[in-house]
Structure 1
Amino acid sequence: MVRLPLTPEDVERGQRLGALLRRARGDRSMLDTALDAGVSPETLRKIESGRVATPAFPTIAAIADVLGLSLDAVWAEINQPDRGAVPAGFGRAARARLAS
């Protein structure tokens, strides 16, 4: 299977996703978050650093669930260049972490 090269938009979206997950994770350890989501800490590290710009949907769904993020909110955040706003759909705990 040949994988198409990522567009600059794909790379930027992956970086926004990584930043969102890092903010939502707050002080929670990467290891605990990854294990609770059923992914390896290395996978979470790569997603958070933007090295994996297009992670698999089930991976993001599992991480978002552990962090109390709705998939609608994740989608809205990564598809908007404006990072200042906290999208609707974030759980109360995730909103508090993002606001700090």
Structure 2
Amino acid sequence: MVRTPLTPAERERGRRLGVLLRTARGGRSMAEVAAAAGISAETLRKIETGRAPTPAFFTVVALAAALGLSLDEVAGACAPAEEPAGAAGAAA
């Protein structure tokens, strides 16, 4: 099975997820957070650095729980930036 390449938007969403997780981890070690989430430290490292920009849903859920984040917080942090009001139809 061939996986289609990720779009720039998907890569950016993965970058934002990594920043959120790194920030929420604070002074805790990668090993500590990874163990609490039931994943390897290497998997967490890949997600935080953007090398794994599309982690499995249940991996994200486990990390959110381990870091005390709600899924709403995660989704909000990973959502694309919105265009300024009126920018989409300004050229019409």
Q: CA deviation at 1:81?
A: 3.2
Rg: which structure is higher?
Answer: 2
Q: Which residue of 1 aligns with 2:71?
A: 71
Q: TM-score, normalised by structure 2?
A: 0.85
Q: What is the aligned-residue identity percentage?
A: 60
Q: TM-score, normalised by structure 1?
A: 0.79
Q: Which runs of 4+ in 1 moved over 2 A?
A: none
Residues 1:39 and 2:48 aligned together: no
Two-structure CA RMSD over aligned residues (Å):
1.1
Gapped runs of 5+ residues in structure 2?
A: 83-92
Alignment of 1:1-100 (within 5 A): 1-81=1-81
Q: CA deviation at 1:4?
A: 1.2
